[in-house]
Amino acid sequence: FNEAFRVLKPGGRMMISDIVLLEELPEDIKKSAEAYTGCLAGAILKDKYLGLIKEAGFQNIEVTENNGPSAIDLLLEDPETKAILEERDPNLENLKNLDKMASVSIQINAIKPK
């Protein structure tokens, strides 16, 4: 976010769509290649994410949460990924429980002060 702040003119706007977490992920999920390729394992907590934007100097930070399909739903749409995940957990219970932890995406609108 520091680089975005640096290159924007005063009054410039930064708009981002990204995946954030509402709770920390279990260690086995953090280390999961499948969760990483699904953009879940690399996500950070929402409060920390917004803090980094604020620390960079942005103001008027507006956040909209997307209520679309969860990151887990998106991962399970791919038959190959689903098969790999089912090998690790036949009931997919651990992954299904992650739905409450991850927001598919948030949209952020922030302004560099004039």
Domains of the chain in start order, with CATH, are 2-111 (3.40.50.150)
Instruction: Give the pTM.
Output: 0.69
Residue with the bigger pLDDT between 9 and 32: it is: 9
80 vs 11 pLDDT, higher one: 11
The answer, yes or no, to whether residue 105 has pLDDT greater than 70, is yes
Residues 29, 92 contacting (CB under 8 angstroms): no
pLDDT at residue 87 greater than cutoff 80: no
Average pLDDT in the 49-57 region? 97
For the segment 6-19, the average pLDDT, to the nearest whole number, is 95
